Structure 1
Amino acid sequence: MIFDKLSRDVMIDDYFNQLYERLLKNIASKELVVDSPVTISEKELVHLLRFSDILSNSTLNDCRNMAYRIVAFLSPVYKGNPIFKTYSTAILSRLGNFPAINNLNHNVELPFVREIESVVKKAIQKIPGAENKYFTDSQFDLFEKIKESNFYSFSGPTSMGKSFIIKTFIRDKISKKDAGNFVIIVPTRALINQFSYEIKEDLKELIINNNYKVTTNSIVTIEEENAEKKYIFVLTPERLLSYISSKENPKIHYLFVDEAHKLAAEKDYRSITMYLAIEKSMKKFSDLKIYFASPNVSNPETFLELFQKSATKTFTTIESPVTQNVFFIDLISRIVSYYNEGRKYDFEDVSISKYSSSFELIHNIGQSSSNVIYCNSVENTINKAKEFLKFLPNKLVETPNPSQYELDELILETKKMIHRDYYLADCLAHGVAFHFGSLPQVIRNKVEKLFKEGKIKYLFCTSTLLEGVNLPAKNIFILSNKKHKSNMSKIDFWNLAGRAGRLNYELFGNVFCIREETKDWKNTTVLTGKSTTQLQINATHQIDKNEKNIEQLLQAKQITSSEAEKEVLKYIANIISIDAIDSGNDYKSPIIKKLINDGKLDLLLKAQDNIKDLKIPVDVLNNNQSIMVRQQNNVFEFILENQAFEEIIKLPHEINYNNCVTALELLHEKYNWNVNESKNDIANKNSLRYYGLLVNQWVNGQSLSEMINEALRFYEKNNKKLMFYENNIQVFEVFNKSKRHINKVINNLISDIENVVRYKLEKYFNNYHAILVSILGEKKAGPNWNVFLEYGTRDTVAVYLQNMGFSRHVSALLTKEHRDLLNIKDGKLISINKKKLVNRLVQGTPEYDEISMLI
């Protein structure tokens, strides 16, 4: 194509690159709030815009991106210039970037031919079911390909709008009456609520008119009058596995795997769970239509190949409707570097002498913008937010909206729901907040809402942003290139960096990578080269990489490896063992097919040897593949031998502290936790009394603040010690009721509820109940404590409310304080008096926002 050749010539033209580098230096000076920009003459402006116009006609992604960047970087200075107005509108129209056109709002008349082109493009790329909204070119190309396909894998920049494509696909299918039940699988609980809220908001009328229900849990109660109801599920991999293990649950027709790159996370145990959830879904529903969405992946076909689908059904692009400036600011050597499409520009004459700390940078640059500050752990996130408060002047940070009542309401709610001394309340008073995945849902949702509205200006957060939580900001400051203790991968970096710049609000965003201490940013390779990454699926890659270790595990031998890698390898060895049971049937899992195709028959034979004397039913193993087969079989044999003594094997209906400790001691012994679990939590038998206390409080519906206050009294009464890290050395301090110690206890408790009670213990109680059912039958198996651990209540109405999407906190509020407005029949929620309920609540509170969204 002629324009592709012309565009390539432009990209290597010396004069063009000279002009472009001056433009970059200008934007660097402006965004860093340092030197005055160098003036670009009107002649040079026209030349840059002509170059951009040529590039916009190309079919090549990098050239089209360059065309857009020129317009974006000129806009702050030349937005009112008539020449810029005409050129930019024509260029953006040619690129199909209608959000950017709306943002600039130039309202200029284009030359006749260009105007016709724009009108035709808008007519073609109009979003189905949406008023005056249009696809970008890359979104349109993708949607046209995906909507008629039974399986597809696509990848693009974070800001491309992959979740928007998923929602539009669902809208299109429901509108055409060509739909069944949809599942969107997301990597974390934190993302469940965001995605489900967006679907309810964006597709509200369609959902009501077509008898759909959006649900976030694996339990589906089909009432007689709702037998024809259809579902849109937003589930974690764990919840999807739970869903498909039930024979009564409705059939799934469409499965979307959001953040599919998580399948390639090497040291993430949950990457294997995601693989398993997809594999088991495809096995159960043979005609399942499946779609993979991932950011910045150069080989999206790898997801299709894993599950034996054609690798031709793929789409990948680097074209984005919002662009990013990536700065590396070394406060030690006082150097600024700018990275653009993998190329490094050193701006030695751009002085940053006015900045002596990262906080000066963050405050000065971010005063009039929304700012996300990334830290590599929960502890660092909270500490940095606290330190930033000390740096700020002794006054409230000015926000675009002078009304502070919603911030005040959130401060009051934080003190009431968590504790009066929780650091978040102090931060909020200054327009600052912190955010991490295990923060209580109702608080986290309100923090996100106020940040998006500009009432919170500085948001310190962990890798929850990398999991897909949608918190775009004008500026993202990356204080560490670590994700927890490991170096951030390229895909994680660009998934984070791609959230800089808010579609419909800005043409570009800024990413500031700040090196303030010698231990930070020792490696900057994530900034160089292409932004896309070639992935290898963890479940199969580990078989090639760690074949010997997996072989050892199949023979019940110990291996030398990191704890994280050991957990992943144990999981894979377990899956091989369970899949080997079915290896003689027509169906063979992707892992078994790989072993056969790669000639790794020794592994398969050892797996078959590992399971040859098992007594436990295959169905139980298939539904609980994360627990080692020998552990499960030991429990099965114990229950089988003692089935006549129900008081020994069954869990009691009465849940109190003593019964919780007794139940945990039973599971600790029979599942051999001291060998198979982490020494930091349930492997240590002495810890069971503590976890028994948490389980008892949690399932009996105690509020988080009540649990926190009891924990604080326990620490004070028993002179318990708290562990801190100082210069990477463990330091133990006796609890002294200081604010620092109170917050440490609170965050430890929140983490234990999320990671131990609601994850590890829930998994084991679910497995134990499944084994009881397989031997005694459903009616005689007794209560399933797993359900109580999942919901944090035994109230069936509260469970129903959580299935509607309400948080545990709001569900408890409704059942305890507003039960008279709930129409309950035979323990089931029939309806809610919505009008009276909304009138009773205080507008602007987190509870009001959540209830208004969901009813």
Structure 2
Amino acid sequence: MAKRKSINIFFASPNIPNPSVFLELVNNTPDESYAVKVESVSQNRFFINCHTDSSYLISDYGDNILFPKLNFSGNVITDLGTILKTFSSGRQSIVYCNTIEKTISTAFEYAKTLEEVKNDYIDKLVDIINEKVHEQYYLKYCLKKGIAYHFGGIPEEIKIKVEELYKLGFIKIIFCTSTLLEGVNLPAKNIFILSEKIGLSNMTNVDFWNLAGRAGRLSKDLSGNIFCVNLYNQEGYWKDEKKVQILRNKNIKEVEPIILMKNNKNLYKNIANYYTKNEYTNKSLSEDDKKIIEMYGNILLYHDTVNSDSILKDRFIDSGNNSLDILKKIRNENSIPGNILAEGIDINIEIQNKVFNGDKELLPIETTYEGCYEVLKILCKEYDWLRTENKGNNPLIRSKEQLTYYATLMEGWINSKPLKYLIQKTISYYYNSGENKYISLRKDGNMYNVKFDKNNSLHINTLINNLIKNLENNIKYKIKTYVGNYQSILRSCDLDLECDWEEYIDYGTTNPKIIDIQNLGFSRTMAIFLLDKYPDLFIKSEIGEIIGIDDEKLRASINQDKYEEEYKELNTLFEWE
């Protein structure tokens, strides 16, 4: 899409020895590419096995350098404390735990062994958590001990402040999941890697060295330390010492995307099977793998519909098995315009066509709970969610009853409500007039259901984590995608839309002024704050649209003591100081 608009395209990726492959994917010549191998700091590599009480430094010049025994106790938290005290010794460290459950529980239990720290910045963040999240949120207890945890399900505002305190050195140890593989810049003197997995999958060399590369801070340290630690003595957590071979050699292979591979796991044959509604070649394919095949099929159909040059299309046609005839047939049967295909690549093309060619209900105009519930019921019926979105590790929906939960979240979100409101509404949903609904908890890798107890801090934290995950992944991504697809289909059929539900979900508001303010570059929270406290400082167009703000008047007007956090955010945005 960028190429058709004559936009210059640049790809950059750390640890990839053949960055030119990204150019090949979009039919560009790989000649204009450059790869460089630079080590910013030297890195020492260690392996610690708590269950055999053996620790050593990996040497490139001979045998491993053994350390004296550390007299491990067999208690996970006690042994972790021994490791951090011995090897971290007050320096900033990252502890990678893989799953959210292990990250939270390990950090929380370790925090219990520490003394409270006295720090004004940490105290302010604890106050913010009490005010904006919940008094029983585990993270605040960790912060009081000078440590924290970090994963995708932490409220964005809190996560940013945790990162700031870590960079300032007020937080010494941070426990994390693979979010640190996804672009968060948090280098440390030491990184302790407690698992060789990301979720259920083994780390690739690229994943491992992207994570391990956080050890050592350029301009601050001459070296960093990488520790692989068998702490839990479980499969996937360095129980098999042979897996430590990944630490010995930083030998990252060239990346070969599946659409360019000769051995592509029957990708093109399965795209044809998707088009013809036949079984896939591998009957044990996971739901995620099936979804990927469908997405490639939708992208291919989009490329063909807009007559775009495409490696994917060329490889599909060259794969044989009547591929060209199959593509022509699906093209002729397809009613979906190219622009809608591009926006809905993760929605089954057969379902999209049924919606396009069938009778369509207009979406409600009321943004109440009832209106949200009605939108969700329409989408669930039109896109057959109970069949298409009820499988895999993280399905959108398991039963129709979940629509009432999503409607509760959606109503608060699109009506500009803060996170604490959403949390309280969700607690009320699970504990309505004493009628407890069930909540799923994970223990030792297994899920089990218990009745929700609003006085149980574990239940509260699980609810908050699930709420944020559902808001980010399901409401603001999956459901928004379906809403956008449905509204685009309605528009293409010349059916009027009295309100834009996709926009409401995208911006988290139905207020056009708050939308205008967000379009100036402010966050949703800041947009709501500014409109509430300083509505007269906005600059408007002739038709009343907000097009700017008088930042100098804002700087003179805002009460720095009363709105300290808001002032700090605005100060960063406007570079006042």
- How does the TM-score come out when normalised to structure 2? 0.89
Q: 1: distance between equivalents of 2:63 and 2:181?
A: 27
Asked if structure 1 preserves the Cα contact closer than 8 Å seen for 2:405 and 2:429, the reply is no
Amino acid at match of 2:130: K
Matched, 1:557 2:274: no
CA 1:300–1:337 in 2, change beyond 3 Å: closer, same or farther? farther
Structure 1 residue 820, shift from structure 2 partner:
4.2
The 1-side partners of 2:426 and 2:251 are apart by 46
* Residue of 314, 324, 327 corresponding to 1:593: 314
Residue 463 (structure 2) pairs with residue 741 (structure 1): no
Match of 1:719 in 2: 436
Q: Distance in 1 between matches of 2:112 and 2:540?
A: 51
Deviations 1:674-715 (A, max 9, x none): 222134333632211111121111101111101101111222
| 1:580/1:327 CA distance change after superposition, 3 Å | same
Partner-residue secondary structure (3-state), 2:322: helix
**Larger of the two Rg values belongs to structure:** 1
Counterpart residue type for residue 551 of structure 1: A
Relative to structure 1, the CA distance from residue 345 to residue 294 in structure 2 (aligned partners, 3 Å threshold; closer, same or farther) is farther
Residues 310-367 of structure 1, C-alpha deviation per residue, up to 9 Å, x if partnerless?
22322223222222212111111222243467x884223x114255412321244324
Q: Which runs of 5+ in 1 are unaligned?
A: 1-279, 397-401, 643-648
CA contact (8 A) 2:19 2:35 kept: yes
Counterparts of 1:505-516 in structure 2 under 5 Å? Answer: 505-516=220-231
CA distance in structure 1 between the aligned counterparts of 2:563 and 2:52, rounded to whole angstroms: 47
Contact 2:520 2:547 in 1 (8 A): no
Check the 8 A contact 2:53/2:72 in 1, yes or no: no
More helix by share: 1
Q: Measured at CA, do residues 543 and 659 of structure 1 come closer, stay the same or move farther in structure 2, by a change above 3 Å?
A: farther
Q: Which amino acid aligns with 2:208?
A: F
Counterpart pick for 1:580 among 284, 289, 304? 304
Q: Distance in 2 between matches of 1:663 and 1:344?
A: 66
What are the equivalent positions in structure 2 for 1:153-172 lying under 5 Å apart? Answer: none
Give the alignment of 1:627-642 within 5 angstroms: 627-638=347-358, 641=359
Q: Please give the secondary structure, in 2, of the residue aligned with 1:758.
A: helix
Given the alignment, which residue of 380, 399, 415 partners 1:684?
Answer: 399
Could you tell which deviates more after superposition, 494-503 or 432-441?
432-441
Instruction: Give the Cα separation in 1 of the matches to 2:205 and 2:512.
Output: 45
* Residue 475 of structure 2 corresponds to residue 753 of structure 1: no
In structure 2, the partner of 1:764 is: 482
Contact 2:116 / 2:146 at 8 angstroms: preserved in 1? no
Please report how far the alpha carbon of residue 606 of structure 1 lies from its aligned counterpart in structure 2 after TM superposition.
2.1
2: CA distance, partners of 1:459 / 1:843: 30
Contact 1:324–1:497, Cα closer than 8 Å, also in 2 = no
The residue number in structure 1 matching 2:104 is 382
Cα shift at 1:836: 4.1
Q: Using a 3 Å threshold, how does the CA distance of structure 1 residues 542 and 462 change in structure 2: closer, same or farther?
A: farther
CA distance in 1, matches of 2:560, 2:514: 18
> In structure 2, what is the Cα distance between the partners aligned to 1:812 and 1:344?
62
Equivalent pair of 1:550/1:570 in contact (CA under 8 Å): yes
With over 3 angstroms needed to count, the CA separation of the structure-2 counterparts of 1:599 and 1:678, relative to structure 1, is same
Query: Is the aligned partner of 1:797 residue 2:517?
Result: no
Report the Cα distance in structure 1 between the residues aligned to 2:563 and 2:174, rounded to whole angstroms. 20
The yes-or-no answer on 1:654 pairing with 2:373 is: no
1:787 maps to 2:503:
yes
Cα contact 1:371–1:473 (8 A) shared by 2: yes
- CA distance 1:549–1:683, change in 2 (3 Å): farther
Residues 548-586 of structure 1, C-alpha deviations (whole Å, 9 max, x = no match): 43332222235431122121112112222333335xx4x
Residue 292 of structure 1 aligns to a residue whose secondary structure is coil
Residue-by-residue CA offset, 1:285-318 (whole Å, 9 max, x unaligned): 2x32221111112222211222222223222232
Secondary structure at the aligned position of 2:486 is classed as helix
- Aligned partner of 2:76 in structure 1 is none
AA of the residue aligned to 2:87: I
How much does 1:829 deviate? 4.3
Contact 1:442–1:809 (CA under 8 A) maintained in structure 2 = no
From the superposition, tell whether residues 501 and 830 of structure 1 become closer, same or farther in structure 2 (CA, over 3 Å): same
Quote the offset at 1:441 in angstroms.
2.0
2: CA distance, partners of 1:602 / 1:576: 16
Q: Is the 8 A contact 2:101 2:442 kept in 1?
A: no
Q: Tell me: CA distance 1:619–1:808, structure 2 relative to 1, closer, same or farther (3 Å).
A: closer
Whole-angstrom CA distance in 2 between matches of 1:373 and 1:659: 44
Deviates more, 1:383-392 or 1:810-819: 810-819
**In structure 2, which of residues 307, 319, 323 is the aligned counterpart of residue 603 of structure 1?**
323
294, 297, 314: which is aligned to 2:33?
Answer: 314
Contact 2:365 2:371 in 1 (8 A): no
% same residue:
33
Check the 8 A contact 2:98/2:178 in 1, yes or no: yes
Aligned to 1:850: 569
CA distance 1:478–1:806, change in 2 (3 Å): farther
Q: Whole-Å Cα distance in 2 between the matches of residues 363 and 699 of structure 1?
A: 47
Residues 91-142 of structure 1 deviation map (CA, whole Å, 9 limit, x = unaligned): xxxxxxxxxxxxxxxxxxxxxxxxxxxxxxxxxxxxxxxxxxxxxxxxxxxx
CA RMSD of aligned residues (A): 2.4
CA distance in 2, matches of 1:599, 1:538: 14
Query: Which AA in structure 2 matches 1:300?
Result: P
Deviation at 1:656, TM superposition (A): 1.0
Closer, same or farther in 2 for the Cα pair 1:531/1:822, shift >3 Å?
Answer: farther
Residue of structure 1 equivalent to 2:141: 426
Give the Cα separation in 1 of the matches to 2:372 and 2:363: 9
- Residue 247 of structure 2 corresponds to 527
Tell me the distance in 2 between the aligned counterparts of 1:816 and 1:340. Answer: 61
Q: Aligned partners of 1:412, 1:822: CA distance in 2, in Å?
A: 30
Inter-partner Cα distance in structure 2 for 1:791 and 1:702 = 12
The alpha-carbon deviation at position 539 of structure 1 amounts to: 4.6
Between stretches 498-507 and 608-617, larger displacement belongs to 608-617
In structure 2, distance between residues paired with 1:654 and 1:848: 35
Asked whether the 8 Å contact 2:517–2:546 carries over to 1, the reply is: no
Displacement of 1:542 in angstroms is 9.5
TM-superposed deviation, 1:765: 0.8
Partner-residue secondary structure (3-state), 1:685? coil
Q: Quote the residue 2:295 is aligned against.
A: 571
Which deviates further from its counterpart, 498-507 or 430-439? 430-439
For the pair 1:351 / 2:72, whether they are aligned, the reply is no
* Pairing 1:223-622 to 2, within 5 Å after superposition: 280-282=1-3, 284-285=4-5, 287-339=6-58, 345-348=63-66, 350-356=67-73, 357-392=79-114, 394-396=115-117, 404-519=119-234, 520-521=237-238, 522=240, 523-541=243-261, 544-547=264-267, 548-559=269-280, 560=283, 561-582=285-306, 585=307, 587-596=308-317, 598-600=318-320, 602-622=322-342
Question: For residue 288 of structure 2, what is the amino acid of its counterpart?
Answer: A
SS at match of 1:360: helix
SS of equivalent residue, structure 1 residue 316: coil
Q: Give the TM-score taking structure 1 as reference length.
A: 0.61
Partner of 2:416: 701
Q: Are the structure 2 counterparts of residues 344 and 815 from structure 1 closer, same or farther at C-alpha, using a change threshold of 3 Å? A: farther
Deviations 1:573-602 (A, max 9, x none): 2222333335xx4x3222012224x44363
CA shift, 1:376, in A, is 0.9
Cα distance in 1 for residues equivalent to 2:92 and 2:249: 28
SS in 2 for 1:295: coil
CA distance 1:726–1:436, change in 2 (3 Å): closer
Amino acid at match of 2:334: L
TM-superposed deviation, 1:500 = 1.0
* Displacement of 1:450: 0.9
CA contact (8 A) 2:16 2:252 kept: yes
Q: Is the 8 A contact 1:576 1:604 kept in 2?
A: no
